[in-house]
Amino acid sequence: MSGSGAPGPGAAPCRFAHYFVLCGIDAESGLEPDELAGENFDQSPLRRTFKSKVLAHYPQNIEWNPFDQDAVNMLCMPKGLSFRTQADNRDPQLHSFIITREDGSRTYGFVLTFYEEVTSKQICTAMQTLYQMHNAEQYSSVCASSSCSMDSLASSIDEGDATSLAKLQRYNSYDISRDTLYVSKCICLITPLPFMQACKKFLIQLYKAVTSQQPPPLPLESYIHNILYEVPLPPPGRSLKFYGVYEPIICQRPGPNELPLSDYPLREVFELLGLENLVQVFTCVLLEMQILLYSQDYQRLMTVAEGITTLLFPFQWQHVYVPILPASLLHFLDAPVPYLMGLQSKEGTDRSKLELPQEANLCFVDIDNHFIELPEEFPQFPNKLEFIQEISEVLLQFGIPPEGNLHCSDSATKLKNLVLSDLVNDKKNGNIPGNALNMYELLKGNETIARLQALAKRTGVTMEKMTITAPLAEKEKDGKLPCEEVELRDYKLNVQLREVFANRFTQMFADYEAFVIQAAPDMESWLTNREQMQNFDKASFLSDQPEPYLPFLSHFIETQMFATFIDNKIISQWEEKDPLLRVFDSRIEKIRLYNVRAPALRTSNYQKCSTLKEAAQSIEQRLMKIDHTAIHPHLLDMKIGQGKYEQGFFPKLQSDVLATGPTNNNRWASRSTTTQRRKDRLRQHSEHIGLDNDLREKYMQEARSLGKNLRQPKLSDLSPAVIAQTNWKFVEGLLKECRMKTKRMLVEKMGHEAVELGHGEANITGLEENTLIASLCDLLERIWSHGLQVKQGKSALWSHLLQYQEREEKQEHSAESPGEYLAIDSMKERRKSDTGITLPTLRVSLIQDMRHVQNMSEIKTDVGRARAWIRLSLEKKLLSQHLKQLLSNQALAKKLYKRYAFLRCEEEREQFLYHLLSLNAVDYFCFTSVFTTIMIPYRSVIIPIKKLSNAITTSNPWICVSGELGDTGVMQIPKNHLEMTFECQNLGKLTTVQIGHDNSGLLAKWLVDCVMVRNEITGHTYKFPCGRWLGKGVDDGSLERILIGELVSSTSDEELGKQCRTPPQQKSPTTARRLSITSLTGKNKPNAGQIQEGIGEAVNNIVKHFHKPEKERGSLTILLCGENGLVAALEQVFHHGFKSARIFHKNVFIWDFIEKAVAYFETSDQIGDNEEALLLQRSSCKTFCHYVNAINTAPRNIGKDGKFQILVCLGTRDHLLSQWIPLLAECPPITRMYEENALLRDRMTVNSLIRVLQTLQDFNIILEGSLIKGVDV
């Protein structure tokens, strides 16, 4: 059943209630302790739990909703039977429950629990015997504890123990001769739709009939028969009146275009949690975390769970949903999947005593204490503040304080006082909270309620009389509303709050249809290939959203509820639309009609809900004007003498009259059966045309359950075999999820080739990558907490790592264990150069990586440490290897995990590690880019070219390393050393190294091959090629150079890289090219065509860089100064046709030409054709000279090629290159220094070069500090 409850094919026929159930004590089997509910022998017998039974249910069975006896018994009395004496509070108590079948359809149960006197002598004597045993035990234990020493004995006789013992006996006794024993019993209606208010009224009237002094007008069978067989479901959009024992009852159902039925009062949910908390929990539910509700009161658990899931419209919770978790099913909390469960808290136990298997991703909601514990990292709901503001306006109109109203929704204060009082009385055993105080009594002191009361008086409702035992105040005036004022307000509030929530999603996903990928021609092919297909263009959708929404949306579109929503959209091409989807789509249509906004413009402007009034009116109209009235209850054909009335006892009902309905005494039944038959015929017809039905059903189930590991565990069957199978399903589900996630991470990362290979969408934003990694961390936490023996700490993975570390370090002390360290380079080439100097190898060590994380003071929690360790391992491409090593310690795994745990299923574990291994094919920077403020040790090595120069220079060398996040500043290199280590704040990906020396000493000239720098934590190694001299009077006379870095991949990566064809990052200029440019004796000089192509390519790369979203751009420095960068391309242009490079054995550089041009500009006055052109030219000349002089006078010892690089970078930044090139092409020095055929002397080439450079005018180019340090223009 989807919430709207439209009876589709095979859905329940239109009956209001399916079953009437009676649960209680079975007089034959007597008192049976309920072991599953957790036996507590230290509790007094009246507080213990005993097994309850389903005493009767009518009808016996319905084919479309088979009766599940165990589940119903467990949920009607989740704590079993409870006993009371005349001294205890015995108020009746209402709660409801939900049974979710494996296919996701739901049935609702509404239960009234009350107390009945025990008439069976045997049970009373059994209780007395239990008491005598219990008191004897208590007495002996008190004596034992006090006799341990004389002092304590004296003190205990004083007052303490003696009085407490007396109290124990006084309050906790049961004496058969003196006391009356009562036992709980419950009556329950099971319905297809959640008509909570109507069922509640019906049950209360039934109970009132049992306890009142006069027998009811008709035997109870008449009323039960009537509601089971003669009351129809109200048709959509209509209201219906039917009759209880004393009063008519009205219920209504939303129309086809309204939000689906929800009868649980959201007022209570907001009062219990408070608005801020509710929005946070709601966000956790949307992101499919594990949500555990905790309260002493079952009805509260149910109200909050149903309230929050109602607000999800148009999405539906797709995972385990058990709002009331019976005590016998606590092992469900071990489920390694998202769940929404409710757990009854025991009297007096606080949160700290609650042992939960996993908490890394848990949202814990302590309803009674108005308190929530949230998972560590999760994004906020978009426009959260405005959203909260809008909801609080609605709440305030109805007099509800947005911060919640704990004391008013049930007196927490009274509860506290009762706990403090020395009564051992346990008000909360069984289903009967002791504080079933009349709600309105508690509310009297509340000012908003006072306003409500005033209003109620005016409308003629008296609140004082509304107690549970006499629920309906007598009719006072003829003008009274047919539906009670308070209830009507609740209905209006419900619908208005839901409209506000629904409006958020309508606004956020107004354009979702544009991004749905409709790839399959028909349903059959779609179902068979569902797993391989992308159904939503996530990247394009996100790129279209306002920036503040992204953290939330990027997580949300990865959830199962979103995937199912999109699947339903795709299926709606071939099948009838899902009711929720139909309503949602019609709302989006409406938005489009009202505000015709440009579909491309997504703003984060907050748009309030505008349909609140109409929504409330439609409900009000239905309740004022009743559309249908059901048949009155009437006498049945019953045996005489049965149905006799005895006050206070629920009669034994006559089953023969309740077993079946009337043959056909009403029109609606026959009408529904004919439509049902027509639907069945249609369905059979469509099945013959399409797939074989079973196969189709199987496909449908598989497609829908994709990623849902286990929709709903069966509540009733608790045999070890079933539990084992459930766990097996979990294991399979986890493995499947791991396969999907790793595949998704790979596809996203591999970019364009993946698309060519047909893998779906292309680019991945940094944001999306973060989302995927966060969800991988979450999956690993869930795997590690599945089947834990004993839980330690909030992160199961981290506690396993710590225990492993402890064991290994013990061994290490005794001997350096050989298995612990594998040299990372054992199979890879040692990074050697001519000199044989290289970086020492970095050891692979799981423990070492843990220590790195442990040293990070920024991380305060275990969950955070586990996540950092996963990110680090992923960045180092060691995740699979580390986890394999962790799990190789089998003794530890056996100690920590039960046999059924995922980590102890050999084959699945191997497959899991294999899936993780595939992540090594791509480069992640998920550690470096997230922990930006930590201190990181780096190691650098300078590698000179020994053959041509001395290895060590006599001068004082220095180095400065820069990265995307900052630089180290100038660091002196210790004399006679080529290697140094230094620690500084995370530099991010390294980009440039500046290296230089002060030219002192005899052997000052130094030919450097390259510089290597390695991040000692992540192991990333960068190579900065140089291949040039540093020294005066050699090469271009440079004493410092700026080197551009490239990430060095280890060989194992290279092999993987070949397989996946990911393009390598652009490299900085190779040694060979740099040397050949300066000496220009290279044999393979590029020709004019290649040079022009190179310029086009370089400019094109920069344009592409700026067209990417900001988070995805690589390094601009590489595009400017790297191997195929703009500087190199322009060098080629300027070198083309440059006259003989050596004049009198002296090298001539491009910079020499630039300086000659400057000299010419500064001395001559140009002659222009017209005044304007002249001015323009003059200003260009002026800026050109200014820039060149600034570079020349900068306090840096940069060589001539280095100066040219700075000039090009500054010219690009300030958009001046395209003005400078024509000046240089026309100045007289060009004829002296360039051949006739040089590119710079060809007018057409120069013009096309200018045009190409002009395309960079639009971009805001920001240069890295190291490139232009010290140059002041």
Q: Are 285 and 309 in contact (CB under 8 A)?
A: yes
Instruction: Give me the phi and psi of 683, to 5 degrees please.
Output: -65, -45
Q: What type of residue sits at position 1153?
A: F
Nearest to 545 by CA among 500, 587, 512: 512
Q: How many CA atoms lie within 13 A of 492 on its CB side?
A: 21
935-944 vs 979-985, strand pairing mode = antiparallel
Closest CA to 851 of 830, 834, 868, 863: 868
User: What are 957's two structure tokens?
Assistant: 């060398």
Task: Report in angstroms the alpha-carbon separations of 678 from 64, 644, 672, 675, 681.
Answer: 17, 45, 10, 5, 5
- Residues 935 and 857: their CA atoms lie apart, in Å, by 10
In this structure, what DSSP letter does residue 29 have? T
Helix axes 485-508, 579-594, angle to 10 degrees: 70
For residue 285, CA distances in Å to 281, 282, 365, 550, 667 come to 6, 5, 12, 18, 43
Helix (H) or strand (E) run with residue 341 in it? strand 339-344
At 856 the three-state DSSP class reads coil
Residues 6+ apart with CB under 8 A from 912: 734, 735, 738, 783, 902
Phi, psi of 1100 (to 5 degrees): -60, -40
**Is the Cα dihedral 1218, 1219, 1220, 1224 positive or negative?**
positive
CA–CA distance, 246 with 632 (Å, rounded to integer):
12
Angle at which helices 121-146 and 150-158 cross, to 10°: 130
Tokens representing residue 1269 in the block: 């340090």
Pairing of the two strands 290-295 and 362-366: parallel
Q: Which of 149, 253, 161 is nearest to 628 (CA)?
A: 253
pTM score, two decimals? 0.70
Beta bridge partners of 629: 241
State the Cα–Cα distance between residues 90 and 839, nearest whole angstrom.
Answer: 80
CA atoms of 1009 and 1074, how far apart (whole Å) = 11
| DSSP H or E stretch at residue 181 | strand 181-191
Residues of the chain with pLDDT below 50 are 1-12, 39, 147-165, 168, 407-445, 461-481, 598-601, 665-693, 695-696, 702-711, 752-764, 817-835, 1052-1083
Which structure tokens are listed for 757? 């290979």
Residue 135, both tokens: 């008191």
22 three-state secondary structure: strand
pLDDT of residue 189: 93
Cβ atoms < 10 Å from Cβ of 586: 12
State the Cα–Cα distance between residues 820 and 708, nearest whole angstrom.
38
Contacts of residues 768-772 at CB distance under 8 Å and 24 or more positions apart, as own/partner, are 768/538, 768/539, 768/542, 768/554, 769/745, 769/924, 769/926, 770/554, 770/926, 770/930, 771/554, 771/555, 771/558, 772/558, 772/741, 772/744, 772/745, 772/748
Give the model confidence (pLDDT) of 1263-1272 as tens digits.
888 888 778 8
Residue 1031: other Cβ atoms inside 10 A: 22
Distance of CA 713 to the CA centre of its chain: 22
Token duo for residue 367:
């309803």
Length of the chain: 1273
Are 526 and 570 spatial neighbours (Cβ–Cβ below 8 Å)?
A: yes
